[in-house]
A and B are shown apart, each in its own frame.
Chain A
């Protein structure tokens, strides 16, 4: 039966249903409420996981990694600087093929310090061999936790997975969700069967160092596993729909969702919660008879290159909106989408918009502005477009900018 629930409660409920063995926890805004809620479940005996109150996110990840190496199912959560602090053990967890499931309440990275949401924290982990899911709403944030376990613990994959939800916008909003039942979860998520453990009766050595003659191949194998996760995500989404009755982009292997994009001339692409507002604006344009649509990748790594090409190849102009920027060169999502389309022979102009950094609202007016700018590019080739500063910031309060000193 549907219930009103905050994002942090929904994630905690998902964790309870997945029943990890070990949960190392450390507070950071806006994730804190997730581990607080879980600690209450443990305190009340609703959840029998070992809850470890660690000294830092660094050791949350390290404790999780050790427990995972022993064969345990683990969960932890973090945001922003906390994820940065976890980065070193997380990068090595993928190399050691140790499944770890984390919920990330996305938040900007310092400096300046901000507790508000954007995707700069998880984008900074892009190259570490972690699977990255992005949720649009509270229900999906909850469901992605279960799917993250299913894929991360798959024997062919065995990798860390980040289940991302926008800080505050999703963590602290109340929405109606269908909770999991334990029975359903048993059907969907089997017990973890580790590919290797530290069992002293069958000793192995984990975490050897590799010399140049082997290192490339060990990393290639991790790369292959991350890519293989695409198929596994497709299967997980399919079975998730069978068991729980909720569908996420089934026709695109569960890797992305589209909204009124099939015949669209102008397509907006974005991750996460901003897509809720985008749906509204897409409807506005459609009501006026203008062919505007939306594409929402659910997974950023592995990058769904084939699916992206398929849903974007017939557009006339594309806007990629993202809550991150690779300082010095555009936003990460736009770079990847350009790479996907242009190496496939496409000549569709693609505009990159940096939006919603550090919790700045992305309003309907911002989105209308973006659509209007993108519409102008219809029928043009990239070489005929003046991209100016490569990416556009919507909005950039230019009156605050000091300009260059003489």
Chain B
């Protein structure tokens, strides 16, 4: 039995979950619960975090948690939130007040960018008081590393492998934060697990706002990206430092806060430590994709204003 000195019983996200060593999504889950506190109902779609945290009869969660199916966690959260609005209006006994509960979704990029985008769009459009957080590991990891519309160009996955005729994923990552912002959201932000305090502050800030909010956090997957588990944080830092994953806040459609960089690093520094980009360095023609990726970083820097003068 657990030694009392470690006080796991106070955690809202608990040890014993079955996520891989060095999992960025598991770290995200911990940070989310630390920021939301116990007065939270978390809706989660099918995915790595769902299967690794709740094999019946176990659960890693210390907060109220619900999983239904892959593509509806935003609508489920919207339904829960609406129920609490109704309980308030009808003075129903035995339920907390709507304003005292945080309604949160935590979903992977497949569930967010692809299969669940209808639910997410509907939830945002209707103005539900829900904070939607996407842990972005840039592919379908739970089913074995297939590409999603979040997979960056040049990344090899099990459905976009590098081969004689291929340099891995051949289309650009979908710009979800802009799609969220286009729904008229008061608050959209990006984050990276390399900066836990920044992420938690963003979650706390978002929860102060009534209505839909969207936060996307970069969460490395050692198994899927083929890097050592100890490097998860380093990679999550490098993606920001190269400008490939700018972290910012967007309020009412305008960028209001960006993590600025003094000396933006070349994208190779981020790419070379991951097996999923290995072919770009080994195969003839890979340099063109590397250039393409550098252009993305440069364009991010310009558009979002990353570089410090």
Contact = CB atoms under 8 A, between A and B. Distances in A.
Direct contact of A and B (CB under 8 A): yes
Interface of A: 21-22, 24, 48-50, 52-56, 58-59, 62-72, 74, 88-89, 92, 96, 197-201, 203-211, 214, 218
Nearest to B76: A66
B79 A92 contact: no
B119 A198 contact: no
A207 B82 contact: no
A69 B75 CA distance: 12
A62 B79 contact: yes
Contacts of A74: 79
A205 B80 contact: no
B84 A208 contact: no
Shortest 3 CB-CB contacts between residues of A and residues of B: A66-B79, A55-B122, A62-B75
B179 interface: no
Interface in B247-303: none
Given A66-B78, A200-B38, A203-B62, A21 B83 contact: yes
B67 A206 contact: yes
Contacts, number: 168
A59 B122 contact: yes
Given A58-B119, A71-B83, A89-B68, 10 more contacts: A22-B83, A22-B86, A52-B126, A55-B118, A59-B118, A62-B75, A62-B79, A66-B79, A66-B82, A70-B79
Given A66-B78, A67-B83, A206-B65, A211 B55 contact: yes
Contact of A22 (B43, B69, B79, B119): B79
B51 interface: yes
A203 B38 contact: yes
Contacts of A200: 38-41, 63-64, 96, 101
Contacts of A48: 89-90
Contacts of A205: 54, 59, 61, 64-67
B163 interface: no
Given A205-B65, A208-B57, A52 B72 contact: no
B77 interface: yes
B6 interface: no
Nearest to B12: A203
Interface string B181-205: 0000000000000000000000000
A207 B66 contact: yes
A211 B38 CA distance: 28
B109 interface: no
Contacts of A207: 54, 66-68
Contacts of A70: 41, 79-80, 83-84, 87, 95
B66 A66 contact: yes
Contacts of B43: 66
B23 to A, nearest CB: 18
B80 A66 contact: yes
Contacts of A71: 83, 87, 94-95
Contacts of B62: 203
Contacts of A208: 54-59, 67
Could you say which of B50, B51, B68, B126 has the most chain A C-beta atoms within 10 Å of its C-beta?
B68
A198 B66 contact: yes
Contacts of B15: none
